[in-house]
Chains A and B, each alone.
Chain A
């Protein structure tokens, strides 16, 4: 089978908020753009579930210092304030872009949406009290994702839907395109590009519940294999699941018809009661009862009940299985090396949840942050890639390398048997979902899970087989999830402290020797974690007592 070859200046992989912005901005810079997605551009990844975005605007009375202080403290000093300032600083421009795309909003900078963040209830010295206004959340009207797609088409970019990218092409140390296949026809394709924007979202493990199922860390893994570094893998975006009704209809019906804000079976702001009838204290990642429900289960006081979807009745909740192991929004991803979202691999840019700007740090601190982060980094990556593509001295294509990449893409179809991707995914879920692996972490348990994941990596993934084009996609997704599991476990083992959404039972407190980002890089084929120290100017005041530096309590730290 001969591969179809597409040529373009800028290839964008992943068509959610970040990818659509990247495509529009790269086109506006005069470059040819191809935007591919394994699903349908605009109805893909986490984007269609978003109900709002954050807009920072001093003219609406917002105080940048107050916002930065909040993100810094909630993120437990692992945010990168340089990126936080960029995202807030450009949010209003991207908001205007969205309006120009035709997206309609419920409220526009009129009455601020005041959110009662639990942190505002805490007793803290005046200097560390949080502003009552956590973020200016702007709700969009139903149907907005379709407006993103139309904006991409209007820009003149080419959209290729239902195309699965399986690997980045690297030649002479530069990313020169990608290879993959079309799910409807198995037609293998090579896309040669002057630059590539990776905007394929974060990664979970396909458990029912919080809707991240199409997100299998494909972008993180492809970039890592191409030589990029990945950060923030030890953190979680915890959303609990209602095990009695994990797939109940969207809980915000006002948005449902427009593909917005549908969180089947997921809770926000639960007031939880344990099996003994006692109220569960909310200490940690307060919005989601993070770590508190998990700790009750650990102590033998499950089921934990809370009022939740679909009807507000009190039901037992459980941890979100593999789902909550999704990468925390904007907490991590492919490491950018500058403010154009360039990565360690020349020619490769990253945006949205694929991009590890660390703009929220160790815990997510404001509604609507991820969508605006996606818009801002998408725009920057699109412009960065456009500039790189314009100046790139393109080498003659390496046809043999392209053919080998296509062969790897189709390899599971060539195998008569082996291991099925669905079964392998189940093994992975069963390995990672128990609360005592990625929620209440501990050295020996992490190593035990890692041992299973290493076996999957070495023995099962090379023998994945697919009976048709649909299973071929599943096989590649499964391989990505196995690699993502290894990333999460290695990063979790490496950070020997607790911070944000990373809780270690054997290191249950923050340790300011760990004011560092954990990064992963490939060293001679071995996934290797290392600590990247955070600049001292961003450290908390060491003179402050621990309780004031870290106002959120962890188990064992009850006030």
Chain B
């Protein structure tokens, strides 16, 4: 796997491999362990997208704006009524 894996179905959609500097701040920011560093490329990668909970912290923390979070692409919600 390479850094910047694109995952179009879910909220944390993309880490731009061209822009990412591999600083790792998004890995620290993610309380859900969604993002890991790619051992080979040294860049951040979306490793467990299904566990993203839309806190936006990775994108807010990224010093080079490499991360796209699209909140409309959330998964199914367990709603109290509907």
| Complex alpha-carbon distance, A319 and B78, angstroms | 9
Nearest-neighbor residue (CB-CB) of B79 within chain A? A318
Q: A294's contact among B28, B56, B80, B82, by CB below 8 Å, is which?
A: B80
Sampled A-B contacts (9; CB under 8 Å): A208-B53, A208-B77, A209-B77, A243-B77, A247-B54, A262-B57, A320-B80, A434-B80, A470-B33
CA distance A209 to B55 in the complex (A): 9
- Closest residue to A258 on the B side, CB-wise? B60
User: Is B31 on the interface with A (CB-CB < 8 A)?
Assistant: yes
Task: For A257, list chain B residues within 8 Å (CB).
Answer: 60
Interface string of B43-82 (1 = CB under 8 A from A): 0000110110111110011000000000110110111111
Closest Cβ–Cβ distance, residue A495 to chain B (whole Å): 20
Tell me whether A48 and B57 are in contact in the complex, defined as CB-CB below 8 angstroms, given that A247-B11, A264-B71, A474-B51 are known contacts.
yes
Determine if A319 and B55 form an interchain contact, defined as CB atoms under 8 angstroms apart. no
Evaluate contact between B77 and A241: CB separation under 8 angstroms.
yes
Judge whether A439 is part of the interface by a CB distance below 8 angstroms.
yes
Rounded to whole angstroms, the CA-CA distance of A243 and B81 in the bound complex is: 10
Q: Which residues of B contact A90 (CB under 8 A)?
A: none
Contact: B31 with A40, CB < 8 Å? yes
Q: Is the CB of A318 within 8 A of B80?
A: yes
CB proximity to A under 8 Å, residues B17-59: 28-33, 47-48, 50-51, 53-57
In the complex, per-residue mask of A468-485: 1 if CB is within 8 Å of any chain B CB, else 0: 001001100000000000
Q: Chain A's nearest CB lies how many Å from the CB of B36?
A: 8
Q: Are B78 and A40 in contact (CB under 8 A)?
A: no
Decide yes or no: A435 and B80 within 8 Å by CB, A183-B33, A259-B57, A264-B71 being known contacts: yes
Within the complex, which residue of B47, B48, B79 is in contact with A319, where a contact is CB–CB below 8 Å? B79
**14 further A-B pairs in the complex, CB-CB below 8 A; given A248-B71, A303-B82, A473-B33:** A40-B28, A40-B29, A43-B28, A45-B31, A162-B33, A207-B77, A246-B71, A247-B74, A257-B60, A259-B60, A321-B77, A321-B80, A322-B78, A434-B81
Find chain A residues with CB under 8 A from B77 CB.
207-209, 241, 243, 246, 318, 321
Using A43-B31, A161-B28, A473-B33 as known contacts, say yes or no to A250 and B79 having CB atoms under 8 A apart: no
> Given that A245-B72, A246-B74 are contacting pairs, would A262 and B55 also be in contact in the complex, using a CB cutoff of 8 Å?
yes
**Would you call B79 and A433 a contact (CB within 8 A)?**
yes
Docked CA distance A318–B71 (Å): 17
- Least CB distance, A439 to chain B, in whole angstroms: 6
From known contacts A43-B31, A262-B56, infer whether A208 and B80 are also in contact, taking CB-CB under 8 Å.
no
User: Whole-angstrom distance between the alpha carbons of A196 and B17 in the complex?
Assistant: 42
Whole-angstrom CA separation of A43 from B79 in the bound complex: 27
Residues of B within 8 A of A470 (CB): 33, 47-48, 51
A213 touches B79 (CB 8 A): no
The answer to the question of A70 belonging to the interface, with a C-beta cut-off of 8 Å to chain B, is: no
Residues of A within 8 A of B53 (CB): 206, 208, 211, 213, 247
Q: Is A39 an interface residue (CB 8 A)?
A: yes
Does residue A44 face the partner (Cβ distance < 8 Å to B)?
yes
How far, in angstroms, from A429 to B33 measured CA to CA in the complex? 20
**B residues within 8 A CB of A320?**
80
* Inter-chain contacts of B48 with A (CB < 8 A): 470
Q: Which residues of B contact A262 (CB under 8 A)?
A: 55-57
How far apart are the CA atoms of A473 and B36 in the complex, in Å? 15
State whether the Cβ of A302 lies closer than 8 Å to any Cβ in chain B.
yes
CA gap between A259 and B31 in the complex, in Å:
12
Q: Are B31 and A208 in contact (CB under 8 A)?
A: no
A297 touches B31 (CB 8 A): no
Q: Within the assembled complex, what's the spacing in Å between the Cα atoms of A321 and B79?
A: 5
- In Å, the complex CA distance between A435 and B30 comes to 30
- Complex Cα–Cα for A43 and B75 (A): 23
Known: A241-B77, A318-B80. A264 touches B56 (CB 8 A): yes
The A212-269 residues at the B interface (CB cut-off 8 A) are: 213-214, 241, 243, 245-250, 256-257, 259, 262, 264-265
Instruction: State the CA gap A205–B77 with chains docked (Å).
Output: 12
